[in-house]
Structure 1
Amino acid sequence: MITNDKGVIPLKHRVIEGLARLAWKNDVNEESKERLVRELSPGPKAVFRCCVYKEREILRRRIRLACNEDANPCRKSSNIIQVIDPACEECPISSYSVTDNCRLCLGKACQNSCHFGAITMTDQRAHIDPMKCKECGMCASACPYSAIAHLTRPCKKPCPVNAITYNENGLCVIDDERCIRCGQCVHSCPFGAISTKTNVLDVISAIQSDKEVYAMCAPATEGQFGKDISMSAIRTALKKLGFNDMVEVGLGGDMTAAYEALEWSEARKEGKKMTTSCCPAFIHLLQKHFPEQYKENMSETLSPMAAVSRYLKAIHPGCITVFIGPCMAKKSESQEMGIEGNADYVLSFGEFTSLLRSKDISLEPEVQPYQEASLWGKNFAGSGGVANAVMECMRERGEDTTDIKLRACSGGKECVTALTLLKIGKLPEDFIEGMACEGGCVGGPSKHKAENEIKKSRDSLLGEADTRKVLDNLKNYPMDQFSMMRTKKIAE
């Protein structure tokens, strides 16, 4: 799988694995952390950076994030996505730069169009002063030779809400109030300067405690580790790691679909449009950028992760729940959204595999069957899967859905477009399925393989699942013992 930070990912995982090995021995302290830094960057020559001193400082910041601490000890933030300042300094400061196409023409259209005095003429070409440039783009539009290039830094390019700016030193700054925690910027940075806090130490501490700890694997898990690694194989590995058991969150997909279908049916009678509530980045998008639509149009049903967590806490009071998946925004849902009974901790697939390596555990093929979700719940992982599951539940209750118009949004920019149409009253569809990642959760920023590899393996694994109905499946679970709404009322 090719990502902008492919060369950085192994280092990220080595930091987490090394810290986890220390945690299993109850040996995490300032001295052992510094030993880990020296093991990863022994010197005297640097491996990844210009000098060993910078390399080691970046590693110290990575260790802070792996300990669920702020990357910069002097800058507090509730955002799980953070910038490692020492790693963010190689990108060009100026968004507009003059190329070799510049002819130093007599007309000087670029200079004449600039209202800020940012452009001067040198012996060879025009020059743009980045300290004066306001990035209005007038010079690029005016140049008859198209000699002025607009460079969009890779971290900024995928952000659907323009949450990334730069300070006077050219360092990346994330606006926490605009950021929707989708994580698209993380793997876009070719210097690995953006990363997330992790719950690895918290999970190890929970496993070592006297509490029951349950893993919850996302529907997107199937196919991430190849066609031979089924949910049953992952469940076995998690038990070896020390978890009491594992539940597939596709079951939560069934739960969410069943209750969201009731909301959709009611909204349909009232002629009201609705949006789904599974993707936390989509929810952040609504809350922060479309607050009226958040209040009026968003489903009140829990996400599949929260649903399974509440289910486990209902049948195992006092237990700890840990979600594992490709989504960075799930960390935010767990830590920032304040949903009672939600997952206590969240691990990405990379953090999960680092945790396995820290105990020298491998994922091994297993023939023993394991299935708790219907195919509809399992398919929550792909774009359109949530809406299809909700429609299936409506049909299972005898409702005619042939006239319902759906809009499945795949990626943050599609979500913004759909919500803008909803806001101005020009959305032709009845319901919006919002997924901040292209292709749905299987395309999440922490996916383990390339999308085509995942799809091939996933199709093979899902082909072995039975075809149980959603509502029939839920009859096997105590749905009356916990609420499927964000409020505390007990589900009816």
Structure 2
Amino acid sequence: MITNDKGLVGFKHKIMEEVCRLAWNDELDEEHKEKLVYKLAPGPKPEYRCCVYKEREIVRQRIRLACGLSTTYNEGSKNIVQVIDPACDECPIHAFSVTDNCRFCMGKACLNSCKFDAIRPGDVRMHIDAAKCKECGMCASACPYGAIVHLERPCYKACPVGAITYDENGYCKIDESKCIQCGHCIHNCPFGAISSKTFLVQIIEAIKAGKEVIAMCAPATEGQFGEDISMASVKNALIKLGFADMVEVGLGGDMTAAYESKEWAEAYAEGKKMTTSCCPAFINMLKKHFPEQFENNMSSTVSPMCAISRYLKATRPGCVTVFVGPCIAKKSEAIDESVPDNADYVVTYGELRALMRSKDIDFEPVTDEYQESSIWGKRFATSGGVANAVIECMKERGEDVSDLKLHRVAGGNECKKALLLLKAGKLADDFIEGMVCPGGCVGGPSKHKTEVEITKAREALLSKADDRKVLENLKKYPMDKFSMHRDGKKIDLPD
């Protein structure tokens, strides 16, 4: 799979793998960490950077992140997404730049259009004085040769909420009050300067301590590793790794759909708009950028991840729950103290693969069958899947859904547009299904293959699922033992 940071992904995962090996061997001390730095960046010539000393410093910072710590340049930060300053130094600082297309023409349209005296003739082309430039873009519009271009840093361009700025040295800075932890900036940075905290070490420590560590695999998992790797295959590999068990979070999708459908029915009767509550980046966008809509319009039902975590903690007291999926923002959901009994840890598919390699374990096809979720819960991972499951539950209760109007949005900018309409009172639809990743969770920043590859393998696997109904499926589970509401207090049943 080609990404902006493809050349660095293998190196990043190698660091995580080696950190895991140290953790398994009780060698995760400062001496062994420093030996690891020199093992991965031996020198004397650098492999990725301008010098081996910078390369080693970046490795040190990645080791910190692999241990669940902030970088030393951002000590004390609770943000999941972190910037590694030494890796962030190759992008152009200026937004507008004159290219070689400049003919040094006599008309000087660019100079005449600038109201800030920011353009002057250079030796071979026009030159923009960054100190004077107000980035209005008039010069670029005026140039008949298109010789002046607007350069947007890929991390800045990828952020849907304007959380990324730059300091006087050009280093990327993340405004944590705005950041929705979607992680899109991570894979859009071609220098690997942005990454996220990883909690593999803590999971290893829990397994070694003899705790009952249970994996919860996202609905997006089916198809991530090819058509031959079913949920049963994933479960088999995780148990070999040391997990006590695995549960598919599609079951949590059934739970969420059942309870959210009751909220939707009540809201529709009252003429009230409502949004879904599954995508943590969408929830972060609501909470930080649309607080009034967060309070008034968001469903109070927990996400499928939280639903399964609460189910496991209610039925297997003392267990440690670990969510596995393609989502960076799920890490921020797990540490949100306002939602009790959520997942203890979250790992992405790339992180899981690094953990597996540290124990020389790989996925293998198996003949076993495993299904706990309805097909509706399984399809939570794709855009429209949540709304379809909610509507299915309403139909199963015999409710008329013919007049319901749904607004399905996927992608950060599309989510923001929908919420702006909601805020302005101009949303014509009744409900918003918001997913910040294009295509839904299957298009998450830590997906393991391309969307085309995943979709093909995924459909082949989903075609083998049975046709159980959502509400009927939930009768097999003790829904009266835990709350499906965010505050963790109210317990009711899904009918």
* CA displacement 1:410-463 (0-9 Å, x = unmatched): 111110111111111111111100000000000000000011110111011111
Partner of 2:320: 320
Query: Hey, what's the Cα distance between the residues in 1 that align with 2:422 and 2:299?
Result: 15
2:284 aligned with 1:308: no
Q: Which moved more, 1:285-294 or 1:106-115?
A: 106-115
Partner of 1:421: 421
Query: Hey, what's the Cα distance between the residues in 2 that align with 1:313 and 1:102?
Result: 65
Distance 1:184 1:61, change over 3 A: same
Partner of 1:45: helix, strand, or coil? coil
2:415 aligned with 1:405: no
Task: Answer yes or no: is the 8 Å Cα contact 1:480–1:490 preserved in 2.
Answer: no
| Cα drift, residue 387 of structure 1 | 0.1
Partner of 1:329: 329
Partner of 2:10: 10
Query: Hey, what's the Cα distance between the residues in 2 that align with 1:237 and 1:134?
Result: 56
Partner of 1:24: 24
Partner of 1:322: helix, strand, or coil? strand
Q: Which moved more, 1:92-101 or 1:4-13?
A: 92-101
* CA displacement 1:86-126 (0-9 Å, x = unmatched): 11111111110012232334443433443443322113111
Task: Answer yes or no: is the 8 Å Cα contact 1:216–1:321 preserved in 2.
Answer: yes
Partner of 1:196: 196
Partner of 2:280: 280
Task: Answer yes or no: is the 8 Å Cα contact 1:382–1:440 preserved in 2.
Answer: yes
Query: Hey, what's the Cα distance between the residues in 1 that align with 2:358 and 2:448?
Result: 18
Partner of 2:474: 474
Write the mapping of 1:22-421 to structure 2, written as runs, cut at 5 A: 22-73=22-73, 75-336=75-336, 338-421=338-421
Task: Answer yes or no: is the 8 Å Cα contact 2:321–2:344 preserved in 1.
Answer: yes
Distance 1:488 1:74, change over 3 A: closer
The two structures have a TM-score, normalised by structure 2, of 0.97
Q: Which moved more, 1:151-160 or 1:1-10?
A: 151-160
Percent identity reads: 66
Partner of 1:186: helix, strand, or coil? helix
| Cα drift, residue 139 of structure 1 | 2.1
Task: Answer yes or no: is the 8 Å Cα contact 1:78–1:336 preserved in 2.
Answer: no
Q: How many matched pairs? A: 492
Partner of 1:433: 433
The aligned amino acid for 2:178 is: R
| Cα drift, residue 337 of structure 1 | 5.2
| Cα drift, residue 166 of structure 1 | 1.3
The aligned amino acid for 2:484 is: M
Partner of 1:269: helix, strand, or coil? helix
Distance 1:32 1:116, change over 3 A: farther
Write the mapping of 1:453-472 to structure 2, written as runs, cut at 5 A: 453-472=453-472
Segments of structure 1 that go 5 or more residues without pairing to the other structure are none
Task: Answer yes or no: is the 8 Å Cα contact 1:383–1:408 preserved in 2.
Answer: yes
Distance 1:164 1:22, change over 3 A: same
Query: Hey, what's the Cα distance between the residues in 2 that align with 1:104 and 1:42?
Result: 48
| Cα drift, residue 202 of structure 1 | 0.6
| Cα drift, residue 392 of structure 1 | 0.2
Query: Hey, what's the Cα distance between the residues in 1 that align with 2:266 and 2:383?
Result: 24
Task: Answer yes or no: is the 8 Å Cα contact 2:73–2:84 preserved in 1.
Answer: no
Query: Hey, what's the Cα distance between the residues in 1 that align with 2:135 and 2:166?
Result: 12
For the aligned residues, what is the CA RMSD? Answer: 1.2
| Cα drift, residue 391 of structure 1 | 0.1
| Cα drift, residue 72 of structure 1 | 2.5
Query: Hey, what's the Cα distance between the residues in 2 that align with 1:134 and 1:67?
Result: 42
